[in-house]
């Protein structure tokens, strides 16, 4: 079931184990996400999907194993350095900067690659002004791209739920990631919103960003992803094309054991 | 969170307070929308007012009992500059610093020691003092800024006391008697603008040239701080206040930015100390007590931490009111305490808070008004321990 897209490996988890006290959240996981694909990570509640994201973004350090990105080991790196290397994410529970405008939220992401220090900023030096200008242009462009270009000045917390999820995506894209991690981006969306989200993810991928997606909505997962991996109790129980995985007996059993609501 | 619920007893006070403070909020929002030329006009008027302030006619009302120009330098001017510095730490970065006076003291002692021992002039020393105090800010911050809110508060409190006690117990810098005959800044010009006022001649009697020096420093520091606030630096600080973990994951080196806030605050505190020492001729360790840190913090919080006009207003009031009501003798301190407590009950966000800080306050997130880092109400389960 390998070589569906044939691209080179962008992200590789090698025998990753993550223990929290007695709980083994991730158990000897191997995972490979290839350049240019949309890869979905699915599994019942508590399977360890979000933990994988936290391991990849440096929030947790694995108990054992190695995470490599673009051919280099990234576990042990600081979280902001991981972001700079090209991994960005959204959160299952939205974590925007609520009392900042949509534009400012995205600018924080764009600042990840800005270089002026406090002297340039405090004295208002020319290259700082240029960077600010470019950052703002990029932020506006991204807000348009995700479809909330008309709400730049609104505070994040005043945006409707679906737009908050879009804003999180824009903020993540502003860090110019090679790999974008989306943690249940469709949660709480109605069917129409889900359709436009699906198109958005497609466009992100077409623009050259590889996507690793956690999602409970099977319809969306099956339509959009190039490959799917299924986690259960921290172990990978299946991997392959959506259609292959869908009919895998082990997967069906895992879901029947702990049925995921397709909300 | 619960500020608005328990209204019994203080309900009427709160209602009255709201009447008083609503215009403040409206003013702030108007200011936020005001076009450029209006702002520049207002800036210009404020500077003119500051320059005209030390006149006898103003003093007759503001301070009938003591010399107004002297009070304008200390406490008012010094408090304002210190509060602007502390606001970078507390208001911008959201770090609770209870020992800010330490940097004021370090600046003062650098001026005193180098001025008397090496005979350098004020302008050379202020550069050194700024460097040394920001370096001490970094030395204090590096091991402590990884700690969360309350620990940081305790460590900074201790630092403030340690600096004072070291000064007290080091004979080389005068011990409890401090340092005398600190040189004044060199005269820049003996020009006489109006009869009896030579604003660039630094002597023993006239406090006004020193006051003008503070005003000039304030203007420079305010410009610098405002620019920082609107840049990536200010955004990083705001993001750290809102959600430190999310900020770090979005690429903000949170530790470095907190350290930067500490260093900048310390530099401003140090510069203030230099001017203070150069005016006072002699300084003693007891010029730098804990209560001064607390007072400046009160000024920042009272005025509206995070919002420069608010902070300046707060520092002005905290410096001026006790002097204005000297007649009440000991009661004035009690009264001052009472006003502070009342303010914290009815308007915890301060007189002129920034919109963002008021909102953080209303939802009990961020650091609230005090800069103490309290847990955000959103579930931290998703991204928790580091
Ligand atoms: N910081 C932590 N401390 C202790 N246990 C944790 C921690 N983070 C995750 N876990 C545990 O690891 C397991 C996997 O959790 P995780 O959040 O990764 O699941 P998930 O697949 O994302 O589930 P969901 O679909 O509900 O989001 C759970 O049993 C959870 O309780
Ligand atoms: Mg999850």
- Report the complex ipTM: 0.93
Give B255: exposed, middle or buried? Use CB within 10 Å, 0-12, 13-18, 19+.
middle
Decide if A91 and B235 are in contact by the 8 Å CB cutoff. no
Question: How many residues are given for chain A?
Answer: 263
- pLDDT confidence band for B329 (50 / 70 / 90): low
For chain B, give the mean pLDDT.
Answer: 86
Do residues B351 and B357 lie in contact, with contact meaning Cβ atoms separated by under 8 Å? no
Handedness of CA A221, A225, A228, A234 (dihedral sign): negative
For a ligand 1 pocket test, name from A16, A26, A29, A51 the mutation site with the most ligand atoms within 8 angstroms of its C-beta: A51
pLDDT above 70 covers a percentage of chain B that reads 90
* Atom number in ligand 1 closest to CA A92: 27
Question: Does any domain span residue B37?
Answer: no
Chain B CB contacts of A91 under 8 Å are 246, 382-383
- Cβ neighbours, 10 Å, residue B230: 13
Ramachandran sector of residue B52 (left: φ over 0; alpha: ψ -120 to 50; beta: rest): alpha
pLDDT of residue A53: 98
Does residue A54 line the site of ligand 1, with CB under 6 A?
A: no
Question: Does any domain span residue B293?
Answer: yes
Question: Does any domain span residue B50?
Answer: no
Do residues B143 and B244 lie in contact, with contact meaning Cβ atoms separated by under 8 Å? no
pTM score of the predicted model: 0.90
More confident position, A169 or B43: A169
**B368 pLDDT higher than 60:** no
Lowest mean pLDDT of A244-258, B49-63, B222-236, B276-290, name the range: A244-258
Does residue A44 line the site of ligand 1, with CB under 6 A?
A: no
Ligand 2: centre distance to CA A50 (Å): 4
pLDDT digits (tens, 9 = 90+) for A1-25: 344 456 799 999 999 999 999 999 9
Ligand at minimal distance from the CA of A254 is 1
> How far is C-alpha B198 from the geometric centre of its chain's CA atoms?
28
- pLDDT confidence band for A131 (50 / 70 / 90): very high
Q: How far apart are CA B28 and CA B306, in angstroms?
A: 13
The domain in which residue B124 lies consists of 66-384
| Range B333-346 average pLDDT | 79
Give the residues across from A228 on adjacent strands: A40, A240
- pLDDT confidence band for B10 (50 / 70 / 90): low
pLDDT of residue B346: 79
Question: Does any domain span residue B24?
Answer: no
Question: Does any domain span residue B56?
Answer: no
- pLDDT confidence band for B1 (50 / 70 / 90): very low
Cβ-proximal residues to A13 (8 Å cutoff; 6+ apart), any chain:
A29, A30, A31, A32, A52, A55, A56, A65, A66, A67
| Range A85-92 average pLDDT | 97
Question: Does any domain span residue B61?
Answer: no
pLDDT of residue B3: 45
Q: How far apart are CA A198 and CA B117, in angstroms?
A: 73
Cβ-proximal residues to A255 (8 Å cutoff; 6+ apart), any chain:
A44
Do residues B157 and B290 lie in contact, with contact meaning Cβ atoms separated by under 8 Å? yes
- What is the chain B residue with the closest CA to A79? B249
Atom 3 of ligand 1, residue of closest alpha carbon: A20
Pairing of strands A210-214, A179-183: parallel
For chain A, give the mean pLDDT.
Answer: 93
H-state helical runs in B189-289: 208-230, 232-242, 244-249, 254-280
- SS3 of B4-51: CCCCCCCHHHHHHHHHHHHHHHHHHHHHHHCCHHHHHHHHHHHHHHHH
Nearest to B252 among A108, A132, A135 (CB): A108
CB contact, 8 Å: B231 with chain A?
Answer: yes
- pLDDT confidence band for B191 (50 / 70 / 90): confident
Does residue A204 line the site of ligand 1, with CB under 6 A?
A: no
Question: Does any domain span residue B41?
Answer: no
- pLDDT confidence band for B380 (50 / 70 / 90): very low
**B12 pLDDT higher than 90:** no
Decide if B250 and A121 are in contact by the 8 Å CB cutoff. no
Q: How many domains does chain B have?
A: 1
> How far is C-alpha A31 from the geometric centre of its chain's CA atoms?
15
Spatial CA neighbour of A81 closest among B243, B252, B193: B252
Question: Does any domain span residue B3?
Answer: no
Q: How far apart are CA B264 and CA B228, in angstroms?
A: 11
**B379 pLDDT higher than 60:** no
């Amino acid at each position: 079931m390998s070589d569906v897209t044939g691209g080179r490996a962008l992200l590789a988890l090698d025998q990753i184990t993550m223990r929290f006290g007695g709980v083994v959240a991730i158990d000897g996981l191997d995972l490979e996400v290839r350049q240019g694909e949309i890869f979905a990570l699915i599994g019942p509640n508590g399977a360890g999907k979000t933990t994988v994201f936290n391991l990849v973004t440096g929030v947790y350090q694995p108990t054992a194993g190695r995470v490599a990105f673009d051919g280099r080991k990234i576990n042990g790196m600081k979280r902001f350095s991981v972001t700079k290397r090209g991994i960005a994410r959204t959160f299952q529970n939205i974590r925007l900067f609520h009392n900042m405008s949509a534009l400012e939220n995205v600018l924080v992401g764009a600042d990840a690659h800005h270089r002026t220090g406090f002297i340039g900023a405090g004295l208002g030096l020319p290259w700082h002004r240029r960077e600010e200008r470019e950052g703002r242009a990029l932020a506006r462009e991204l807000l348009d791209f995700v479809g909330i270009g008309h709400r730049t000045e609104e505070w994040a917390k005043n945006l409707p739920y679906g737009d908050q999820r879009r804003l999180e995506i824009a903020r993540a894209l502003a860090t110019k990631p090679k790999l974008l991690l989306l943690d249940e981006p469709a949660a709480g969306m109605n069917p129409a919103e889900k359709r436009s989200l699906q198109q958005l993810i497609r466009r992100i991928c077409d623009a050259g960003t590889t996507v690793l997606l956690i999602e409970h909505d099977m319809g969306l997962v099956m339509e959009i992803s190039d490959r799917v991996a299924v986690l259960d109790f921290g172990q990978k129980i299946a991997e392959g094309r959506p259609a292959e995985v869908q009919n895998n007996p082990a997967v069906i059993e895992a879901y029947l054991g702990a049925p995921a609501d397709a909300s | 969170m619960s500020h608005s619920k328990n209204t019994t007893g203080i309900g009427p006070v709160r209602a009255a307070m709201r009447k008083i403070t609503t215009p403040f909020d409206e003013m702030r929002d108007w200011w936020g929308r005001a076009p450029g030329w209006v702002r520049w006009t207002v800036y210009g008027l404020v500077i003119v007012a500051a320059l005209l302030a030390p006149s006898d006619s103003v003093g007759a009302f503001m301070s009938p009992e003591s010399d107004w120009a002297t009070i304008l330098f200390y406490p008012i001017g010094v408090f304002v500059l210190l509060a602007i510095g502390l606001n970078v730490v507390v208001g911008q970065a959201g770090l609770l610093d209870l020992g800010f006076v330490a940097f004021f003291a370090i600046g003062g002692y650098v001026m005193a020691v180098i001025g008397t021992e090496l005979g350098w002039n004020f302008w050379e020393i202020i550069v050194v003092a700024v460097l040394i105090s920001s370096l001490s800010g970094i030395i204090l911050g590096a091991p402590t800024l990884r700690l969360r809110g309350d620990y940081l508060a305790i460590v900074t409190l201790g630092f403030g006391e340690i600096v004072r006690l070291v000064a007290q117990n080091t004979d080389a810098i005068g011990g409890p008697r401090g340092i005398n005959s600190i040189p004044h800044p060199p005269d820049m010009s003996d020009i006489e603008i109006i009869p009896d006022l030579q604003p660039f001649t630094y002597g023993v009697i006239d406090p006004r040239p020193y006051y003008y020096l503070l005003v000039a420093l304030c203007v420079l520091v305010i410009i610098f701080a405002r620019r920082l606030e609107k840049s990536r630096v200010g955004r990083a600080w705001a993001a750290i206040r809102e959600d430190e973990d999310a900020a770090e994951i979005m690429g903000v080196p949170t530790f470095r930015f907190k350290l930067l806030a500490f260093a900048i605050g310390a530099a401003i505190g140090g510069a203030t100390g230099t001017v203070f020492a150069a005016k006072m001729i002699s300084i003693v360790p007891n010029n730098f007590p804990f209560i001064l840190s607390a007072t400046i913090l009160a000024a920042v919080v009272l005025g509206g931490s995070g919002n420069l006009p608010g902070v300046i207003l707060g520092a002005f009031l905290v410096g001026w009111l006790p002097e204005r009501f000297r007649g009440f003798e000991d009661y004035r301190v009690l009264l001052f305490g009472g006003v502070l407590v009342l303010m914290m009950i009815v308007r915890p966000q301060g007189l002129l808070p920034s919109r963002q800080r008021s909102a953080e306050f209303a939802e009990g997130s961020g650091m609230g008004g005090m800069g103490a880092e309290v847990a955000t109400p959103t579930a931290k389960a998703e991204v928790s321990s580091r």
